[in-house]
Each structure stands twice: as C-alpha cells, then as structure tokens.
Amino acid sequence: MQSTAAVTRLNHLAIAVPDVRAAAAQYQAVLGARVSEPQALPEHGVTVVFVQLENTKLELLEPLGEASPVAKFLEKNPAGGMHHMCLEVCNVKASMAAVSERVRLLSSEPKIGAHGNPVVFMHPKDMVGVLTELEEVPRS
Amino acid sequence: MQSTAAVTRLNHLAIAVPDVRAAAAQYQAVLGARVSEPQALPEHGVTVVFVQLENTKLELLEPLGEASPVAKFLEKNPAGGMHHMCLEVCNVKASMAAVSERVRLLSSEPKIGAHGNPVVFMHPKDMVGVLTELEEVPRS
C-alpha cells in the first residue's frame, strides 16, 4: 500500500481570471505561448483557455454560470490570480487512502474533472495555503 | 527582433510559507516528492526548499532577514500560498525589450536570481493578477 499521494508531474497551474478572452490575448501577446480557443465547461462552472508551455500548461478559468468554483476567489481577487495547482497521480483512490490522515479531502469520492479524469481536491489549509488538485493520469 | 517574451518552460512555482521545514515535511509526507534540504539565501531574503516533480519544481520560500520579498505576502496570507510563477526564456534582455510596452517590469535591468541566472519580474497587474518571473536559462 502506498504511503503518500505519489505525485508525478505538475499537470497544470490554474489561474482564475475575470475575462478569459482578454487574459488569453494578453498571455499570448506577452509570453508568446500557444493559447487554445476558449472552451465552455458548464458542468464545471468555468470557461477555460489552455496556455501550453513546453513542460506543463497554465489554465485560465473564467466563472461560468452560478456557483462557479472560481467565483468566490475572484470576489476576493478581482484582477485574477493563481487559484490552484494540479498534480498528477497514477491512482487517485490509492492516493486518497494514503493521505487521508494527513490532509482533508474536499470530497469523499473522486469526481470527474475537466479533462475527463478522476480528480480530488485537498484542503489548502493542509497544503500550506495552496488548493491542490490530484488528477489521475494513466502512465503511458 | 522577437515580439514576445518567447517563454519556453515553467521553471518553478514559488510558494511562500511561514515555516519552510514544516512545509517541506508536509509536502514530502503528502506528495511523496523528493524534497531538498533548506538553503538560506540571505542575499535573496529567503530560505528555500525545492520540491522536485518530474517536469518542474515547487519552491517553498520562507522569509529570511529584513525586507524579504515574501514578507508582505505572508502578512496578508499567514498560512502561506502561491507567490509567483517563473517562466524560462532564452535571453531575458531580449524578452524585456519585446514586452516592455505591454507589461511593467519591476526592474529596468535583469538581476541575478536565486539560481544564478538573470531574472526580471513582471507586474502582476499586467499579468492578470499573477506575479511572473522571467528567468534566462540557456538551451542545452
């Protein structure tokens, strides 16, 4: 049985933004990175743009609909800001079992995340202030 | 002449923490990642621990001495939190010239960063709320 979440890669750094089209235009113009078209994900309460870097990606998240998971963050940080980091694991249920005594999990079962993979969030108070998502990504 | 910063990789995600040893112990125990010994960098005003992931690293930063660059952030976020992201570029002076009309730079010349490479910071207000460091990393 594994004794830690056994994270592998940083899947993405999520940045909450008030206007994802404006944010994407600024990031493309300044960084010169490849930026996707905005994708509305109503079941996740966000419109997302992916900013592809060589080794990972940034995800720009604009609230969509009511009860968006980034709405409260933007009330406190109206200009936007870093919202969460997402770390890859091979088996999210095994990771949850391994860390459940050390960190509070925000759901008792994995949910299906924006990439179609099982995910769980760890409470930021148990991760030194950082909202941390674990995403199950099968190893190729 | 390049027209953007021409970023390549996410070099690191910096996380400000009130106690770097406690934070390192928690990240090691929860994530199972390789964690360095704390390094005092008095000339940069931080004690740093590196958390190595497969594709990038997290840097845990505890204030060291007076006028630490992370002290004010921790006053506002005493539990810690994501402080800045660091993106790699091939030539930081060329990147600064390319983006200077679109973003405010926090210094007019590059400084030598914690890894011994030239760096510059871009104002978070021009990067959708994200304090962004550009670090010159020669391509191998």
Task: Inspect the interface and report whether the beta carbons of A30 and B103 lie closer than 8 Å.
Answer: yes
Consecutive 10-residue averages of pLDDT for chain B (140 residues): 94 98 98 96 95 98 94 96 98 97 97 94 98 92
DSSP A24: H
CA–centroid distance for B102 within its chain? 21
**Are B61 and B81 a contacting pair, CB within 8 Å?**
no
Closest CA to B40 of B7, B64, B13, B6: B64
Give chain A's length: 140
Q: Which residues of chain A have pLDDT under 50?
A: none
For residue A140, the model assigns a pLDDT of: 72
Task: Inspect the interface and report whether the beta carbons of A53 and B8 lie closer than 8 Å.
Answer: yes
**What is the β-pairing status of strands B10-16 and B57-63?**
parallel
CA atoms within a 13 Å half-sphere pointing along the CA-CB vector of B31: 31
Interface of A with B in 4-63 (CB under 8 A): 4-10, 13, 15-17, 23, 26-33, 53-56, 58, 60
**Are A121 and A103 a contacting pair, CB within 8 Å?**
no
Task: Inspect the interface and report whether the beta carbons of A10 and B8 lie closer than 8 Å.
Answer: no
Set A59, A88, A133, A136: catalytic member:
A133
Q: What is residue A8's three-state secondary structure?
A: coil
CA–centroid distance for B50 within its chain? 11
Interface test mutation site (partner A, options B82, B88, B120, max chain A beta carbons within 10 A): B82
* Contact partners, residue A75, CB within 8 Å, separation at least 6: none
For residues A120 and A118, give the distance between their C-alpha atoms in angstroms, rounded to a whole number. 7
For residues B3 and B123, give the distance between their C-alpha atoms in angstroms, rounded to a whole number. 19
Place of tokens 């690293």: B57
For residue B66, the model assigns a pLDDT of: 85
Set B59, B62, B88, B133: catalytic member:
B133
* Contact partners, residue A119, CB within 8 Å, separation at least 6: A86, A92, A110, A111, A112, A113, A133, A134, A135, A136
For residues A82 and B85, give the distance between their C-alpha atoms in angstroms, rounded to a whole number. 9
Closest CA to A12 of A50, A69, A57: A57
Residue B74 dihedral angles phi and psi, to the nearest 5°: -70, -25
For residues B116 and B136, give the distance between their C-alpha atoms in angstroms, rounded to a whole number. 10
Q: Mark whether B136 is an active-site residue.
A: no
Q: Render A67-117 in DSSP notation, one character per residue.
A: T-TTHHHHHH-TT-EEEEEEEEES-HHHHHHHHTTTS-BS-SS-EE-TTSS
Q: Which of B30, B126, B130 sits opposite A103 (nearest CB)?
A: B30
Interface of B with A in 79-108 (CB under 8 A): 79-82, 85, 87, 99, 102-103
Task: Inspect the interface and report whether the beta carbons of A53 and B79 lie closer than 8 Å.
Answer: no
Place of tokens 């179609």: A116
Interface test mutation site (partner A, options B17, B30, B123, max chain A beta carbons within 10 A): B30
Closest-CA residue of A relative to B60 is A128
Q: Which two three-digit tokens encode residue B44?
A: 């940069």
* Contact partners, residue B61, CB within 8 Å, separation at least 6: B14, B15, B16, B17, B20, B46, B47, B48, B70, B83
Chain B CB contacts of A128 under 8 Å are 15, 17, 23, 26-27, 60, 79-81
Task: Inspect the interface and report whether the beta carbons of A60 and B128 lie closer than 8 Å.
Answer: yes
Instruction: Please provide the CATH number assigned to the domain covering B10-136.
Output: 3.10.180.10
Interface test mutation site (partner A, options B91, B103, B130, B131, max chain A beta carbons within 10 A): B130
For residue B12, the model assigns a pLDDT of: 98
